[in-house]
Amino acid sequence: MEIYYQQMRSDEISKIIDDIRDKKQYRNSTNVNRQCSITLNYGRSNSIDPKEIIDQLYGSNNNNNNIDDNNNNPTEKQLDFDDNVEIPQVNIDLGDDVIIGEISTPCNFYLIKNNPKIVATFKEFEEKLDQFYENEKHRFQLIDFNATSIENNRYGVAKNPVEPHRWSRIQVVNHSDQSSSQCFFLDHGLLTPINTDQIFKLDNRFKNYPARSFKAALSGVSPKSEFWSLAETSFFESISKDKELIIIPLNVIDNDRHECYLLDGEVDINTEIENFILGSCS
């Protein structure tokens, strides 16, 4: 993965933080209409129109080959499965709204893009995903015939344990045993084991929409000892979880983690963590 952010000096970061705060305050004070348009510019691919994806998935009302027609019983070959087709990576822009997903440490956690445009279009997208996989005829197990486990990094679809009645896109991270696989929920920043027989193949047409979540690390902070303590991680969670934050992306480290600054209104999350660590050292 290319590094597409430039390192910035601390004074440049401070100026950006101030500018973003001013814009955020202006937006809140003027009650700017945050409703979205249907077309979503998101990720590294071209602009994506959810209606086009939906039309590709279901066809027009007059299309006799509509694979969602209850009178049809599509075979695996009639659906569109190809492990070589990848889901586009998320593109993070300066000042994007984000929310926290799963947290391992302040330098290893997941963020979920939460811009109003993305929230609205993603909701429509996932409703179609859910509708599609509620039909049992569209479900084919991801595990290969006669295999004892699922290969890592394969895409699939599974029931979201947080929202147990909704289907969501996943990527297999590791198979701990034959009965379960560790899965990353690509659009929800969640890492959890799922029963292997409950993971199904993801139709390629649902791969057009970029992943909504991504791995991140706070910039400029480090634990007081070699490893992050439970207290440090818990403090980070307490000041960031269930809040709409603003991200200042800096660069990509370890090929997949986006080093960043996070803001909660007037609160600089990075500075709060740094001060907590310094306080615990005194």
Interval 129-187: pLDDT, tens: 999 999 999 999 998 767 767 888 899 999 998 877 799 999 999 876 678 899 999 99
Query: What's the token pair of residue 186?
Result: 């690509």
Looking at residue 171, its pLDDT comes to 95
Q: Tell me the CATH class for 10-140+201-281.
A: mainly beta
**Strands 257-264, 213-218: pairing kind:** parallel
Q: Above pLDDT 70, what percent of the chain?
A: 70
Report, as ranges of residue numbers, the positions in the chain whose pLDDT lies below 50: 1-6, 31-48, 54, 56-71, 282
Render pLDDT for 209-228 as a digit per residue (tens, 0 to 9): 899 999 999 999 999 888 99
Looking at residue 265, its pLDDT comes to 86
> Is residue 248 a contact partner of residue 260, using CB atoms and an 8 Å limit?
yes
Per-residue HEC secondary structure of 104-115 comes to: EECCEEEEEECC
Adjacent-strand bridge partners of 190: 185
Q: Which residue has the tokens 């634990």?
A: 223
Q: Which residues contact 113 (CB under 8 A, 6 or more apart)?
A: 42, 90, 92, 96, 97, 98, 212, 213, 214
d(CA 235, CA 2): 32
Looking at residue 281, its pLDDT comes to 56
> Any idea what DSSP says for residue 48?
B
Q: What pTM was computed for the model?
A: 0.75
Looking at residue 6, its pLDDT comes to 43
Max alpha carbon distance in the chain (Å)?
72
User: Three-state SS for 189?
Assistant: coil
SS3 of the chain: helix, strand, coil, percent, to 5: 30, 25, 45
d(CA 196, CA 209): 24
User: Three-state SS for 53?
Assistant: helix
Angle at 197 between CA 146 and CA 56, to 5 degrees: 100
Looking at residue 174, its pLDDT comes to 84
> Any idea what DSSP says for residue 40?
B
d(CA 148, CA 127): 32
User: Three-state SS for 267?
Assistant: strand
> Is residue 202 a contact partner of residue 171, using CB atoms and an 8 Å limit?
no
Domains in the chain: boundaries: 10-140+201-281
Alpha helices (runs of H) in 103-173, residue ranges in sequence order: 116-134
